[in-house]
Structure 1
Amino acid sequence: MRFLLTALLFLPLLLADQNPGWKKPFPAHRIAGNIYYVGTEDLACFLITNPEGHILINTGLADSTPLLRQSIEKLGFQLKDVKILLNMQAHFDHVAAMEEVRKLTGAKVYATEADAPIMEDGGHSDPAFGPEAYFTPIHVDRRIKDGEVIKLGATALTVITTPGHSRGSVTYTMTVDDNGRKRAVAFANMGTVVMPLLGNPKYPNIAADLEQSFAKQQRMKPEIWVAAHASQYDMEKKVKAGSFVDPQGYKAAIDQYEKSFHQQLAQAKAKAGSSH
């Protein structure tokens, strides 16, 4: 019962009607090279373009397809040319439109081994949420593993599994040509804690997963980085500045999220100890 009550406390914080930035349109823009932003004010969706077809990372809420199409077309591209669909975490606010986009485009959906089942059952097996967060089940064409490289045209994305926020949360890295300079890019899924870290029967190894994920992200040295939520990487500030180059900001963000995780873990252990 304690687990259920704790999990439910997180849900209102994440539902769309509590987060106007999840639905509010934001101007599509280039991040660097062939990487573009096509999401809302806070729900990040990324388009990686190639003459051979495009990769779309995240699709947002269930009603976001028209906004996605509009953003992509404003950049001079077409939604129908998306060939690969990826996600960063199998939560409704990032994948609820994915099945509709898959059917419209014929794109192949790739997902991590741990997130694929949640996507395929429409969120029913998501350990974090309940019926309020269900979505249209998604047909997953390929299950991707840590270290795998996804290629389309000149783009090569390396898969780095960073579980903890969801069971199969994933970070992607690539190199982009930024005005003649090669830069390392990370689509980094941040390790925010949305589930109990101890005594969690639906995700017993969540704390260990987060520890390993932060260790991986600490080893990464991207010059340009983005995240699943625009607010997590100060998108609006960087758009105004005209540059997304921010290696120090990446390190500071990972440090901050890791520190928060350890604080929450310590609190959970202290509470568990006092209850005995």
Structure 2
Amino acid sequence: MSSRPTKNQGPPPTVPTRDKSLVQRFMAVAKTLQFAWFTGHAVVLISSILYLFKMSECYYRLVYLGVIESFGIIIYQQFFTRNEPLQTQDAAATKASVKSRIAGLLKSEDVLYLVLAIFWLATPRFSLSLIPFFAFAVFHVLIYVEKVIFPKVFLLSSKDSSKILSFIDRFVVQYNDLCMHWVGTAELLIFILVLFRAILCFQRSWIMLVVYAVFIKLRYENSKYMKAAFAQWRVRMDGIISHPSVPPYVKRAYNAVKMSLVHLSEFRLSGTPQATKKQN
């Protein structure tokens, strides 16, 4: 799952937290960049739910504006607030630093999802594309409410004494990894639908197919959840194709496609994998 801001951009408190009113505590939290990140995910969550009931173009576009805002904040913090200067006396070191940042951008799932959100915003509506962003928003909103809103605004800090905090903590721990597996499966399903749309020549469908294929390739290279989704689909398809009733020419075509995908997986768009990289 996408990371969240770790820097609190608001001013440090000048008086003890408990001496402030509820409004003062909320305003102190609302002044942080972290709260702006949370607001973006809240917009995604609320707009997605409203879109489910009303199917309004406005809510659909609003979801992606929220995604762009929240993921944009993460990328700004990760790649544009470093103190490390690019200009050094050593030209080789400067070049290496630039290459390192570019490689980091290619491997960052936050950058990947930001680019995808901009693409979905600029293309005809495709409702199923909202699923991964809705899933991310649910967990990011819950985590922020648990870690920031309740402790800093409502002064609830103990999971043992607060049933709400205890419930949120158990929900996130129990379903976070499972949700990421669902997201990987949903993204593969979306790719299949995008492929069929391209075959049927929907508006801008071939552009969608190319862009989303690159997205899936980069996700496969850097996400253990996407790799698990591919493996799960492969096992199921192998079982279906191996059935005696499946014609031999279908089996040959399936094996040819499978081997092509295996060879394609050996070519990396995002460079050499990092041994210590935490996959999301």
Which structure: greater helix fraction? 2
What TM-score does the superposition give when structure 1 sets the normalisation length?
A: 0.27
Greater RCO (CA < 8 Å, at least 6 residues apart): 2
User: Which is higher, the Rg of structure 1 or of structure 2?
Assistant: 2
Which structure: greater strand fraction? 1
What TM-score does the superposition give when structure 2 sets the normalisation length?
A: 0.26
